Amino acid sequence: MEYYSKEIGRLIGELSTLPGIGSKSAQRLAFHLLNLPKDEVNKLAETIVSARENVHYCKECFTLTDQDICPICANPNRSKKTIMVVEDTRDLAAYEKTGKYEGVYHVLHGAISPMQGIGPGDIRLKELIQRLQKEDTEEVIIATNSSLEGETTAMYISKLLKPSGIRVSRIASGVPVGGDLENIDEVTLLRALEGRTDL
């Protein structure tokens, strides 16, 4: 039985496709949007469309940005000698919140997962290797999630980089196994960074 008109139903349906939004949250958001003034709804819609059209990958680290080079890579005060490898932009943001890491990043946009058919060629590993050949890097910190996929990716990168002579370290296990970096507090992330070990 349909409770809402076709347009309201469509709006709820589209909102419920967003990650972390169930049907009740979608209903709340839909009615909130319908009660907003038209100019605020238009501003939100324009912002979403603009972000989708103008945000792309940074040419150096592959985080999401609206410039050719992201603000972190463009910052002359950041050390290019240390590269932290993370799975996605949210993990980068989590480490930036600690305010203690002064190097740069490389965003893989995923992790190796044979069960899901994701291999090394499906994430930004080739770009990492090319970057390391061009830059004078002293250490690569692997900060992938403490999941099976994250650990698999960390071991793969470690074996790939060992012959290069670059120091390869892994964040300490202050990060719980199975935990996503984006959901972990800054103190735990900082301890994990400071307690990293060589691989």
Whether residue 63 sits in one domain with residue 43: no
Give yes or no: residues 48 and 65 share one domain.
no
Question: For the residues 95-111, what does the mean pLDDT come to?
Answer: 93
Residue numbers of the domain that contains 173: 57-198
- Across the range 57-68, mean pLDDT stands at 95
Q: 67: domain CATH number?
A: 3.40.1360.10
Q: Could you give the percent of the chain with pLDDT greater than 90?
A: 68
pLDDT(173) > 70: no
Is there a single domain that holds both residue 66 and residue 77? yes
In a domain, 62, yes or no: yes
Instruction: Please give the pLDDT value at position 193.
Output: 77
Say which DSSP state 123 is in.
T
**Distance from chain centroid for Cα 109:** 7
Whole-number average pLDDT of the chain:
89
**Residue 61, CB half-sphere, CA atoms under 13 Å: how many?**
28
pLDDT score at 1: 43
Residues 46, 103, single domain; the answer is no
Q: Which of 57-61, 94-98, 107-111 has the lowest mean pLDDT?
A: 94-98
Question: Do both 73 and 43 map to the same domain?
Answer: no
Give the β-pairing of 167-170 and 79-86: unpaired
Cα distances (Å, whole numbers) of residue 161 to 70, 141, 142? 25, 11, 11
Q: What is the total count of domains within the chain?
A: 2
* 197 pLDDT above the threshold of 80: no
- Are 92 and 40 members of one domain? no
Please say whether the beta carbons of 106 and 86 come within 8 A. yes
Q: Extract the tokens encoding 56.
A: 């792309």
Among 54, 69, 85, residue at a domain's last position: 54
Q: What would the mean pLDDT of 43-64 be, rounded to a whole number?
A: 95
Long-range contacts of 67-75 (CB under 8 A, 24+ apart): 72/96, 72/104, 72/105, 73/104
Helix (H) or strand (E) holding 53: helix 38-54
What pLDDT does 141 receive?
Answer: 95
pLDDT tens by residue, 134-163: 888 999 999 998 788 888 999 999 999 988
Phi, psi of 142 (to 5 degrees): -90, 115
- With tokens 């989708």, the residue in question is 52
76, 104: one domain: yes
The pLDDT, as a whole number, for residue 187 is 62
Higher local confidence (pLDDT), 195 or 26: 26
Give mean pLDDT, residues 46-61.
Answer: 95
pTM score of the predicted model = 0.78
Same domain, 114 and 192: yes
